[in-house]
Every structure is written in C-alpha cells, then in structure tokens.
Structure 1
C-alpha cells in the first residue's frame, strides 16, 4: 500500500472548493485534505512525504476536444510545421525524401495554409522536391492536403474527375487539378490509395502525444475524430500498457454512410469496454455541422460580408443531422458536434432537442464544440438542454487570423459576438475547455492566458477584446478541470477525477506558482513541476517543462488560419 502526503504549499481542491495546506493519497485515491490529511498522515505508518516548497497543487487538466493521434504523427515525416515559406517546405520535403529512399510515400504535417494565396498550393512545387514518389502533406486544418503530381496520378485525379461529394478539387484554368484537395470527399481519393499506417506507428504516435500532454499537466483527452484504424491503435496501446493517460474516443460520423455504420460503432464501443482498460472509453460520436469562418464554410444565419459563399456550408443539412443525432443518442452514445457558425449551432441545438424529445430523459451530456458564433436566441438553450459548450479559449483574441481573415468576413458588429464564453456560463450552461491540438496549442496555460484576458501575446488590446467575455481565472481553471470531468462522465468512475476530494482519483498537477495570482500574460511561463495520474508521477521534476519567455510567434501556440477539425 502506497501512501503519499503532500504539504508545504497550496492545495486547490478545484472549482467550488477552496485552498488547503495538505493532501493525503493512498493507492492513487485521495484519502483526506487539510487538517484531516495532516492528522491521518501522523497516524499512518510508512508515508512518502512531498514538500511542495510553497508551490501549487491542483486537479490535473483535461482537454475536451483534441486530435492526439494527428499530433503524435507529426514527428513522422518532414518537419513542415516550422517552415515559414513555400520554398522552405519544398526544401524540407526534398531533404527528408533523400534521407529516406526506402519510403514508398512521403507524408507529413502540418503546413501553414496561409503561405500560398487563398491557401492554394501547386503540385508542381512539390514535384521539384520529389517527382518519382507520391507526396502528401496535411495543412494545419487537417481538412486540406497538398499533393504532388505523382499522388494525383495514383489517385486517378485529372481534368475529367468530377467534384466529389463533401469535397473540392481546385483546378487550373485548363481544368487540371492544382494539387490542393479540400475536405474529406477529395482527400479520401488520395488516402484510399496510400498504404495503411501500421499499428506500431500509431502506438508510437500516441506515446508521443501522451508525453506532450503530461508535460503540460493534462491527464484526460477527448479524441474528437476516431476512425476504425485509429481504434485498433488505441486497443493495441491499451493491451500493451502503452496508453500514457486517459482517453475517450469520439467515433467519426461520415454523412455519406453513417446510419449503416452505426451498428459497427456500437460494436467498437463494446470492444473498448471489453478491453477493460481504466484509461480508455469510446462513448462518443463526432458530427460536423459546418466548416469554418476563415474559408467561408462556417454556416451563418446572415450572409458573409463578401457574399462569396453566401451563408456557408451545412455538412448534413438540418433534417439529416437531426435524424443522425437521434439515432446516435438512441444507441446510448454521447453526441459531440462541431459547430462554428450561428446557423450550425442552431442546427446542433435543434438536433439535440429533437433527440431528447424522441428518446426521453437520460444523462446524455451532449457537447457542442467551438461555438464560435451563438445567436442571442440560442444562448439560454445550452443550459435548458443540458448541452456542454466545449470552447477553445486560445482562439478568443484579436490576432492576425481574426483581423485579417475573420473580421472582414463577419463585419465588426458580428465579430464582436464571437466566443461568448462568459455569457454562456452565465446562463448556467457548463463551459468546458479544449485545445483542438495540433491545430493550435494543446497547452492549457496558453488557453488560460487568453480566457482570462482576451489579449494577444503582445497585450493587445489593453483592456481585452470584448472584455465582458473575459472568464475569471478560477472559473477558467474549472473549465479545464471539473467541467471537462463532467463532459467525460468522470463521476461514473469508481474514483472520480477533476476535483481533490476524498474518494477521488489523485489526478494532479503541481505548478511552480499559483496561477490565480499571476498576470494572465505570464501564465504560459508558469512551470509544470509534476503530473500525477492516479497518484503515480508521470513527469519527473528533471523533465518538467521549464519557465519560458514569450513563445515564438511561429511555434505551435500560433493558431491555424484554416479549418478547425
């Protein structure tokens, strides 16, 4: 029996709780806090004593919307994320291909889609790097790829190829494909002829993703886009003991075949449950209601200012989405809907409401992810329907993405109604936070900095953008801890997590400073000293993420200018 006594610092027990000065953990479960912990530790036998040395211990973070497999796979392939021009990308692809003559395909992620005008990249540019083997690079949006001519040839994409359902093939004036493919319908044409990724490569990617998260104090992640091959990877990792932290899988609902695949999703959920891993569940189905504002595919109630795509794109349409959500809900799944524009949010809310009416009351905890624009008429519906708003606080800033791409498309008045985090929380709705990593930084400290200030890394604007939507720091911490735990149904576990209370799993993060006393601008520099999962240290102090100065504007904390999956 392992007993650990934490003392000598601040123990924040979580949202709705308070500060204590001690914590006692036995076999990974919280036994007592405060004076009760001190008394129990004195009466106990052999106890490991950890002096916090004036530092801060709190519930570990959760990430309510991310893509850990994609993030972990970015290390397999050319390093295009760090490239700041098309020329640098081409040079890096050439270098990598020459170093790996054994590879049948050259694949990598994730390039900055803003480096070419309108995000249109030419296959011939990649041909200069590699002409004899196919190349596929994913953009930061993970909905767009850039391929060379050999990849187009193998996929059979030419001037005669019709526009696919749920996809786009940008073309040259003569009708030949340019080399950029948008959305699943087009991207699938190429991925269908690629060799499958090995399970071993996927497990290595999960291990890298786990390291990334544990270094940042995160112990639970919602994988928001899981396909059948990914499921095999997670099960293999669970069987081998390679799962580094807790995951829930959201199985991807493809509108082209969802209803016939729903029974297979139920079997997938059963396979995960039968595996018996305390770190893995598959209780969720992921829907896309629309695209994004930046490329005018986010679905809006009023037209875009440019009018290029009018009201945007509805992936399913209201009726099909409602029927699919009803069916998923009837099968006992949690529903997780990507909805960026206000029309998409309304469609998602309508679909959830109809599922409740059709299927009756139960503890369903549906999620709407992103919720970039929410109409006034729909704000109160989140709380009324029990819908969790999972939002990405890092995006709520007037950075270049916002000022150059978003505001011109929405107009000033509508732009100032984006990311209404505090307004939603004020209605009584559950506000949970996520990152969308690797589209944007998966570090909760980066998100906390923006949530609590609505200012850019340069401190602009001085009072914060739409300051009435600033989330107080303790509430923001709650959105990354207990609110994500609520989204995860953590209270259904034998040892719940998300708060430090007797009987809870000791999922903890130790920080060098109390984040509630730090200027929001400095939150990203607060060092993570240790991360604990069920009382076990997963990050040693020697490996702790160091205090850093302001991040490189081209590093992972910079937001993508493209589609958020």
Structure 2
C-alpha cells in the first residue's frame, strides 16, 4: 500500500481530504493525513493539489511527436520566416531526407501574404521533398520534388500548382510524405508525445487514426506503448465501413477522424453558407453513408464516430443517425454513445439531434482561444455572426450533451489546463463554462466518451474512472497551483477575465504507477 499525504485532494467522496491510499492500482482510502492507514510507502505531496488525471480525447500521437522533436512552425509570423525556418532545418538533414513540418497559420500573417510556392520550398531546401501541414492539418504546402513524386496528384481535387494542396490532393501527398517516416522515427515520435502528455498530467489519450491520416502500423505501434510507464492510449480507426477492421486493430471505436468534411482553417469544412472567398467546403460523406456506417458498427458492437465541423456536415451526421435509428430504434443508437469530433458550428436544432441520439461531443476549447474573437480566423472565414455562434460549449453542456475535451494535437498543443481555461474564458460570455464543469469534461468526460463495453467487470471499472473515490482506479495528478485555488479547484482566470499562471504538474500516476515525477529544481 502507498499513502500520499500532505496534499489537497479533489474528491466528492471525501471533501477536505489531505491524503489518499492506493493498492493494486486502486484508491483504497481518502481522508485526513493523521487518520491514514499504515503503508509500505509514504509520499509527501508537499501541499500539492490532487485531482483525477486528464484525458485528452483527440490526439494524433505520431504527428504530435514529430512536431515536438522536429520542425514546429506554429510561431512563424510571415512567409519569409517560414521559408527561413524550413531552410535552416533542412540544412541539418541528409540530402535524401523528406522535410516534415507542421503548424503554420496564414490567418495570423499580414493580410494578403501568401505562403511560399512549391518551387520556393525546393530552392530553400536544396531540392528536397517538403511537406508542411497547416495548423488545421487539412491542407499543406509541398515542394516541387514532392509533387513530382506523386504525378497523379495533378488531377486530384484540391490540387494547386502553387503547392498549397487541399482535399484529395493533400491526402495523396501526405501518404507519400509520411511514408518516409521509419519505424524507428515513429517510435521516437510516439514516445516523445506520450512523455510530454505524462508531464502535463494526462493519464489517457484517444488516438484518432485511420487510413487517410495515419496507418494500421502506426496505430498498432502506438497501442503497444499504451500504459507501459506512459499514459494509456485508446484507439479509434476512422474508415468507412471499417468496424471489423477497427476491432481487429484493437481500437475501441470505428470513428475519430472519419471525415464528413474538412476544417475552417483550410476552408474545407462543409458549411451551409459560403466562405469569405466563396464555396461551401468539402463534403466527404453524405447522410446515407453515415447511416450505413452506424449500422455496420451496430453489427460489430462498436461505437461509431465522425469528424464533422461545419453545420452542413453536422446536419448530415444527425440525418444519418436518424436513418440508422429508423432501422435499429432510437434507444439502440443512444446506447452506443456515438461520437462527433469537433462540432464547431452547431446550432440549437443540431444540438437537439445530439441529445435525441445520445451523441458525445469530443470538442477542443483551444479552437476558440486561438481562432475565436474579433478579427481572428473564424471571423475572417465565416463572418462575425457565425464566428460568435461557433464552439457553443456552455450551450452543449447545459442542454445535456456529454462533452469530452481534447487538443487535436498537433493542431493545438497538449495543454489540458489551457483547454479548461479556454472553456472558462470563452470569447462569447454566454458560452463560458464553470471551472468545475470544464475540468469534469477533460477528466471524467473523456472516459464517458469511450462508449459502452460488453464485459461486466470492465464496465464497472470504466464507470469509476475520472473521479477519486474508494474503489476507483488510482489515476491522478499532483499539481502546484501558483495562482491558488477557489472552491476546491485551481484558479485559472482572474477577476478581470485574464488567464492566471497555470498549474504545474509535479506527478502523474496511472493505476497506481507513477509515470511522471518532476525533478527537483526543474
């Protein structure tokens, strides 16, 4: 038995507790330190705040790890700086290496500035293949040598001779570019991502894989790392009609990034009214295909899920669920707790559909923090009215939709307290959540989003995840709280609405095993 004492434990089961005991991967006791049971190991929490570990409900581990260990372009503020950063990075690579980078965001550049061309990238990198995903990961800049390596791309939807590719053209070059990553590089990247997650108090993550965005080998390798001194990983496989394949791969659901549409950053999310530059984005699946996928999942006892961002895409999902419910029954659809990833432009009628069919909304509060507000990307692409209607977190919550928070890393960084703070300080005051509700969405909500399980014993464990109570899994994190606490939770936003100093993770424990401990002096 291990006793953790001299802390501040966040637990509805034992309000005011300063200590907890664990044994066999479970919490066995909570209470006052002086009443703690005898233990083999005693850990001094040094006044730290203890809460359930975070669950990041939407990640792309390999891509995140490659950004962490390689070329991160999220801070570049102009085309010239992007080109210089790429050139400097490429200079340190072998001559035949593919340059992989991520995170540039032209919506933050001076209006009218255009990204470097395919030929600019080739010249800056001495003729190398270059693949640079935009912040949304739904478009990319590529060099001329990479275009030449995929000759069929010129006839694909979304192709542009400039080298800024979207849609099917982007998917084609991404497959070739990511195919250059060796199994050894992939293992390093995946471990780097999971180690970073552990250092941020994340005890579990949902990997959103699929044949378009990653590969079967990528998902299998990542699941092999799950819980081995690292956060646990739960996989989703996003392939239409792929429920059997998802089960074969060890995924918990046939969804995640099963694309109904694209993203606002690339103007490929499917919307009912046109973007600023015209067009309504890309529709990859219709309601009939969505219904067939839900039926396939029902036949294999799997949870379905869909990437849907624009209002037209979300309407297709709700219509597809309705068509499936006409065959399976509404209660059967509700019981499966199917997921929608992102759900950014969702109105009252669509939310009513979510409630009717028991949909879990896997959302990213950091999207509003980065792209909401005056003059930012949502307003640029969609206009002020629709920008104000995007990411209605509080409305979803109060209407009864189960929320699970995630980062969509590498689209936004792994930053769970930042996500909670973004929900609390939403750009639209009426959509601001309480710290308590937002924290629950990023902890317990992530476990609820995994959907039902058939095994009775596992189901009982799953129902206890995400809260600290006797009999619950001993999965928690210990934090120092420089801004203090209020009503039992860390203070994230001050009285003026400004963000405070974020909590700092001191220790992360998964099922009784410490997977991260901050070094003294770090």
When normalised by structure 2's length, the TM-score is 0.86
Mapping 1:339-350, distance limit 5 Å: 339-350=308-319
Q: Superposition pairs for residues 37-56 of structure 1, below 5 Å? A: 39=35, 41-42=36-37, 44=38, 46-56=39-49
- CA drift of 1:467 comes to 1.3
Note if 1:467 corresponds to 2:429: yes
Q: Deviations over 1:506-526 (max 9, x none)?
A: 110111123735142445522
Shift of the 154–401 alpha-carbon distance from structure 1 to 2, 3 Å rule, reads: farther
Show the 5 A alignment for 1:430-449: 430-449=402-421
Structure-2 residue corresponding to 1:20? 17
Tell me, what secondary structure is at the counterpart of 2:6?
A: strand
Measure how far apart 1:449 and its partner are. 1.3
Q: Distance in 1 between matches of 2:378 and 2:262?
A: 13
User: What residue number does 1:542 align with?
Assistant: 519
Task: List per-residue Cα deviations over 1:250-288 (Å, max 9, x = no partner).
Answer: 1122xxxx34xx2xx52452343xxxxxxxx44332322
CA deviations over 1:68-106 (Å, ceiling 9, x no partner): 221001245445444333333333333333322353433
8 Å contact 2:28–2:471 — kept in the other structure?
A: yes
The 3 A distance-change label for structure 1 pair 307 and 74 is closer
Matches within 5 A, 1:528-539: 528-539=505-516
1:443 Cα shift?
0.6
Aligned counterpart for 1:168 among listed residues 158, 180, 205? 158
Q: State the number of aligned residues.
A: 499
Structure 1 residue aligned with 2:175:
191
Which residue, 394, 399, 414 being the options, matches 2:366? 394
Q: Matches of 1:480 and 1:76 in 2, distance apart?
A: 26
Cα deviation 1:399-427 (Å, max 9, x = unaligned): 57762432244343333222211111112
The 1:343–1:493 alpha-carbon spacing in structure 2 relative to 1, beyond 3 Å, is: same
Give the aligned partner of residue 220 of structure 2: 235
**For the Cα contact (< 8 Å) 1:143–1:184, is it kept in 2?**
no
Q: 1:315 and 1:212, CA in 2 relative to 1: closer, same or farther beyond 3 A?
A: same
2:98 to 95, 102, 105: 105
Q: Any conservation in 2 of the 1:506–1:532 contact (CA below 8 Å)?
A: yes
Deviations 1:482-535 (A, max 9, x none): 111111249626474211122221110111123735142445522111111111
Q: Pick from 231, 244, 269: which aligns with 1:298?
A: 269
**Post-superposition offset of 1:306:** 3.8
Any idea what SS the aligned residue of 1:403 has?
coil
Aligned pair in 2 of structure 1 residues 295, 316: CA closer, same or farther (>3 Å)? same
Task: Indicate which of 442, 445, 450 corresponds to 2:422.
Answer: 450
- 1:328 Cα offset (Å): 3.0
CA distance in 2, matches of 1:53, 1:427: 40
Q: Distance in 2 between matches of 1:402 and 1:313?
A: 26
Looking at structure 2, the residues matched to 451 and 342 of structure 1 have their Cα atoms a distance apart, in angstroms, of 21
Conserved 8 A contact 2:14-2:31: no
Q: Secondary structure at the match of 1:539?
A: strand
Contact 2:252/2:303 (CA < 8 Å) preserved in 1?
Answer: no
Change (3 A) 1:450 1:400: closer
Q: Give the one of 324, 328, 334 matched to 2:293.
A: 324
Match in the other structure for 2:4: 6
CA gap 1:525/1:223 in 2 versus in 1, 3 angstroms: same
User: In the superposition, relative to structure 1, how do residues 375 and 181 fare at CA in structure 2: closer, same or farther (>3 Å)?
Assistant: same
For the 8 Å contact 1:446–1:524, the answer to whether it is kept is: no
- What is the DSSP-based 3-state SS (H/G/I as helix, E as strand, rest coil) of the residue aligned with 2:57? strand
Quick check: 2:476–2:508 contact (8 Å CA) kept in 1? yes
Corresponding position: 1:248 with 2:216: no
Kindly tell me: are residues 312 and 156 of structure 1, through their superposed partners in 2, closer, same or farther at Cα, counting changes over 3 Å? closer
Equivalence map 1:311-390=2 (5 Å): 311-360=280-329, 361-362=331-332, 363-390=335-362
Note the aligned Cα RMSD (angstroms): 3.0
Once the two structures are overlaid, the 10-residue window that deviates more, 282-291 or 399-408, is 399-408
Q: How does 1:411-426 map to 2 (within 5 A)?
A: 411-426=383-398
Identify the residue that residue 270 of structure 1 maps to in structure 2: 248
Separation in 1, partners of 2:6, 2:364: 34
Q: Describe the shift of the 1:63–1:349 C-alpha distance in structure 2 as closer, same or farther (beyond 3 A).
A: same
Distance in structure 2 (CA, Å) of the matches to 1:510 and 1:503:
19
- How far off its partner does 1:472 sit? 0.6
User: What is the rounded CA distance, in whole Å, between the counterparts of 2:382 and 2:82 in structure 1?
Assistant: 32
Q: Which consecutive unaligned segments of at least 5 residues does structure 1 have?
A: 171-176, 273-280, 455-464, 547-565
- Check 1:349–1:543 CA distance in 2 against 1; reply closer, same or farther (3 A cut): farther
Give the superposition deviation at 1:17: 7.7
Counterpart Cα distance in 2 of 1:50 and 1:181: 53
Whether the 8 Å contact between 1:10 and 1:20 is mirrored in structure 2 is: yes
- The answer as to whether partners of 1:290 and 1:339 remain within 8 angstroms in 2 is yes
Shift of 1:9: 2.4
Spell out the pairing of 1:79-158 with structure 2 (5 A cutoff).
79-114=72-107, 115=109, 117=112, 120-156=115-151
Does the 8 Å contact 1:9/1:55 carry over to 2?
Answer: yes
Q: Deviation at 1:289?
A: 1.8
Residue 491 of structure 2 is matched in structure 1 by: 518
Does the CA-based 8 Å contact 1:66-1:224 persist in structure 2? Answer: yes
Structure 1 match to 2:455: none
What TM-score, normalized by structure 1, do the two folds share?
0.80
